[in-house]
């Protein structure tokens, strides 16, 4: 539901989120924004607490669980994070201090 709010069936989400999902899915302007932004930017900029308080709270909780995953949109099959983290072969050559600084930087 978090990653694909426009594709989920309202009956498949918890009762307290159904009305907000229906409102979100029926808003063509938000649907257009969703298609043109990263997931986190969409929630941050357009899913306002005044309009969608429960959905926004849910999204914030979910994003915080997987913050680095969504910061580097691996789930969305893009390569935008390729330059920010070393490739696996490069990571194997790095020592513990270097890896620790990368993890801190990415957080």
pLDDT per residue over 9-36, tens digit each? 999 999 999 999 999 999 999 999 999 9
What pTM value is reported for the model?
0.58
Contact status, residue 54 vs residue 20, Cβ threshold 8 Å: yes
Give the domain ranges of the chain.
Answer: 1-76, 80-107
* Confidence band of 39 (pLDDT split at 50, 70, 90): confident
Contact status, residue 49 vs residue 84, Cβ threshold 8 Å: no
Q: State residue 9's pLDDT score.
A: 94
Burial 8-41 (b: 16+ CB within 10 A, else e): beeeebeeebeebbeebbebeebeeebeeeebee
């Amino acid at each position: 539901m978090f990653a694909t709010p426009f594709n989920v069936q309202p009956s498949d989400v918890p009762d307290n989120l159904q009305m907000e999902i229906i409102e979100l899915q029926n808003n063509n302007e938000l649907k257009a924004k969703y298609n043109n932004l990263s997931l986190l930017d969409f929630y941050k900029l357009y899913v306002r607490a005044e309009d969608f308080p429960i959905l926004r709270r849910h999204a914030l909780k979910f994003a915080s669980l997987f913050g680095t995953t969504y910061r580097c949109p691996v789930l969305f099959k893009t390569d935008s994070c390729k330059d920010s983290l070393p490739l696996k072969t490069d990571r194997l050559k790095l020592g513990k201090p270097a890896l620790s600084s990368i993890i801190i930087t990415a957080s």
